[in-house]
């Protein structure tokens, strides 16, 4: 187990070092996120609907799109330099490789979310500080599920002819349970409703994470095997 | 005997199956439209039920077949299993489309709108999306072994997704109940209606089996033929 | 009783079109194979 985590960490660290050396992908993702948030402001009638009503949906659609951008770059890096072959020849287990990729993606997407969240609060005048703890928890839970399935899907999509188009087609149906749950819980938090009302959604979110992380670990091997 | 002749014969022999299945569907049509009483609250539109529900049963059956064959494929790696799963997905897609077309046509007179994110219809919609993703993925991968592995993984994950979509829609619906013009609810089916429905189940399942068999034999024939030609080219 | 027979007809016709079209498409693909086409026909 320790070996597994050590190798996963090494894979993640390599990815992240590469990423932050050039920072292009990260900065682009940030700019993209800010732009999407800004566009959402104009994509509504401010007199008809209050920002707080739409805010949870806006937040999570923004996170979803930014997350998919982040996922796309993950295996694209490898493919460019045929670096994946080198990784596969190494004695690292496929599971460690997968976990490493997930970890790197989590850091990348998490960093984008961490900057996007205050920006979102600013643009839409949403008081997030009183509910920051539970909000971060929900974001973390949904992001784990999103990144786990997304990493697996992007490992397949990157080998197809239309990789950037393929990823959303593969991934979006799988995002409906976690994103729906996240939006509903977020809406409850913003309107200061009791947390107990969303226990069903929380259970769904946790259950999704457990089942799909396990399934993706199990099946990642089949997407890489020679 | 050339290598493709047995495969061609098997394919031709399946055509009568399809013809018989379609004739049986016509029988169901007649029975539903003419011999089954009209439901008092919903009116004649209720009869769409006898086409819509058996089609939905087949759609989910097809998806289940894709899921199970995907699991078995990952264990024993027989390419015929992969081919069978792909054919089940394609035929299942046809039935899923029929559900999604007849559903709104039934919904409009009963619920007042074409689409209402009804629990079962929403689940069917996502079934459609996942099967579509499966077929698109297959089209985008050219190496057969890789295509088979990717499809199997997607098939299994898709099957795992179904209960989560179901729970999501259920939770969503209990928070946001739907307006209904008429409440269809679960029909308590008197005898004649039940018989029509059961006949529909049997006949549509038979249609699925006939179409799936033909589709599979067609794909096998194409495979056998390309293999034979490759061997001739080598020789 | 509501007058919605038109919807019933529409749905029955739509379903028939969908299933018949697919069956015809399949059988024609099969006939083409019989005449010698050889592209991969796996979905």
Q: Which chains touch C (3+ CB pairs under 8 A)?
A: B
Residue B62 lies in a domain: yes
User: How far is the C-alpha of B210 from the C-alpha of B16, rounded, in Å?
Assistant: 9
Chain B touching partners, 3 or more CB pairs below 8 A: A, C
A 10 A CB-CB count for B114 gives: 10
Report phi then psi at B186, rounded to 5: -95, 115
Share of chain C above pLDDT 70, in %: 79
For B208, the token pair is 């699925």
Confidence at residue B181, expressed as pLDDT on a 0 to 100 scale: 42
- Supply the range of the domain harboring residue B158: 5-36+44-182+207-228
Smallest Cβ distance to A161: which of B130, B140, B152?
Answer: B140
B contacts of C33 (beta carbons < 8 Å) = 8, 11, 218, 221-222, 225
Q: Where are the alpha helices (DSSP H) in B31-143?
A: 49-76, 79-111, 119-140
B148 occurs within a structural domain: yes
Tens place of pLDDT per residue across chain B (235 aa): 677 788 888 999 999 999 999 999 999 999 999 988 888 888 899 999 999 999 999 999 999 999 999 999 999 999 999 999 999 999 999 999 999 999 999 999 988 899 988 888 999 999 999 999 999 999 999 899 999 999 999 999 999 999 999 999 988 887 666 544 444 555 567 788 889 999 999 999 999 999 999 999 999 998 888 888 888 887 7
- pLDDT greater than 70 at residue C5: yes
pLDDT of A88 = 66
Residue B182 or residue C4, greater confidence: C4
Contacts of B47 in chain C (CB under 8 A): 8, 12
Among B34, B42, B102, B210, the strongest candidate for a mutation testing the C interface, having the largest count of C CBs within 10 A, is B102
Q: How many independent structural domains does chain B possess?
A: 1
- Asked whether residue B223 is domain-assigned, the answer is yes
Cα B4 off chain centre by: 29
Whether chain A has a CB inside 8 Å of the CB on B140: the answer is yes
What pLDDT shows up at residue A36?
A: 93
The answer to the question of residue B141 being in a domain is yes
| Contact between B222 and C40 (Cβ < 8 Å) | yes
Provide the number of structural domains found in chain A: 1
Angle at B135 between CA B148 and CA A152, to 5 degrees: 60
The whole-number pLDDT of residue C37 equals 56
| Ranges of chain A with pLDDT below 50 | none
Q: How far is B139 from chain C (nearest CA, A)?
A: 7
Residue A7: partners with Cβ closer than 8 Å, 6 or more residues away: A92, A93, A96, A97, A100
Beta bridge partners of B43: B39
- Residue B60, token pair as written in the block: 């989910």
Question: Three-state DSSP class for A135?
Answer: helix
Provide CB contacts within 8 A for A212, sequence distance 6+.
A145, A148, A149, A174, B157, B160
Whether B215 is covered by a domain: the verdict is yes
Q: ipTM of the predicted structure?
A: 0.90
Distance from the B172 Cα atom to the nearest Cα atom in chain C, whole angstroms: 28
Domain extent at residue A37? 2-224
- Say whether B43 sits in a helix, a strand or coil: strand
Residue at B200 is within a domain: no
Taking only the tens place, the pLDDT of each residue in A45-68 is 778 777 778 899 999 999 999 999
* C7 contacts B108? CB cut-off 8 A: yes
CB contacts under 8 A, B 70-109 vs A, are 74
Task: Please give the pLDDT value at position B180.
Answer: 45
Residue B193 falls inside a structural domain: no
């Amino acid at each position: 187990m320790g070996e597994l985590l050590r190798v996963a960490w090494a894979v993640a660290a390599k990815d992240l070092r590469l990423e932050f050396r050039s920072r292009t992908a990260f900065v682009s993702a940030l700019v993209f996120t800010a732009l999407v948030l800004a566009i959402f402001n104009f994509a509504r009638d401010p007199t008809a609907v209050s920002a707080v009503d739409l805010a949870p949906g806006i937040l999570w659609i923004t996170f979803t799109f930014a997350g998919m951008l982040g996922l796309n770059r993950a295996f694209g890096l490898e493919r460019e330099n045929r670096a994946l072959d080198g990784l596969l020849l190494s004695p690292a287990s496929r599971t460690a490789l997968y976990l490493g990729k997930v970890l790197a993606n989590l850091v990348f997407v998490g960093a984008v979310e961490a900057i996007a969240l205050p920006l979102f609060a600013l643009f839409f005048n949403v008081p997030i500080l009183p509910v920051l703890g539970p909000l971060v928890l929900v974001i973390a839970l949904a992001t784990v599920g999103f990144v786990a399935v997304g990493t697996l899907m992007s490992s397949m999509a990157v080998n197809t002819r239309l990789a950037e188009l393929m990823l959303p087609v593969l991934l979006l149906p799988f995002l409906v349970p976690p994103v729906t749950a996240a939006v509903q819980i977020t809406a409850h938090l913003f309107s200061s409703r009791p947390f107990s009302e969303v226990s069903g959604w929380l259970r769904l979110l946790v259950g999704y994470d457990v089942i799909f992380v396990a399934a993706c670990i199990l099946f990642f091997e089949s997407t890489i095997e020679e | 005997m050339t290598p493709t002749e047995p495969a061609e014969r098997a394919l031709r022999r399946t055509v009568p199956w399809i013809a018989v299945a379609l004739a049986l569907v016509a029988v169901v049509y007649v029975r539903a439209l003419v011999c089954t009483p009209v439901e008092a609250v919903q009116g004649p539109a209720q009869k769409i039920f006898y086409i819509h529900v058996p089609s939905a049963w087949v759609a989910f059956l097809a998806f289940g077949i894709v899921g199970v064959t995907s699991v078995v494929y990952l264990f024993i790696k027989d390419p015929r299993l992969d081919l069978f799963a792909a054919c089940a997905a394609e035929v299942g897609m046809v039935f899923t489309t029929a559900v999604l077309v007849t559903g709104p046509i039934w919904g409009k007179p009963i619920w007042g709108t074409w689409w209402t994110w009804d629990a079962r219809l929403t689940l069917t919609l996502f079934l459609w999306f996942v099967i579509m993703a499966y077929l698109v993925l297959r089209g985008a991968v050219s190496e057969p072994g890789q295509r088979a592995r990717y499809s199997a993984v997607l098939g299994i994950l898709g099957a795992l997704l179904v209960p989560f979509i179901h729970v999501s829609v259920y939770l969503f619906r209990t928070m946001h109940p739907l307006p209904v013009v008429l409440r269809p609810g679960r029909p308590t089916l008197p005898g004649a209606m039940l018989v029509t429905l059961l006949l529909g189940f049997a006949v549509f399942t038979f249609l699925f089996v006939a179409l799936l068999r033909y589709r599979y034999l067609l794909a096998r024939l194409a495979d056998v033929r390309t293999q034979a030609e490759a061997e001739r080219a080598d020789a | 009783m509501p007058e919605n027979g038109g919807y019933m007809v529409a749905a029955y016709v739509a379903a028939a079109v969908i299933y018949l079209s697919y069956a015809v498409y399949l059988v024609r693909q099969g006939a083409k194979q019989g005449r010698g086409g050889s592209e991969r026909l796996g979905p």
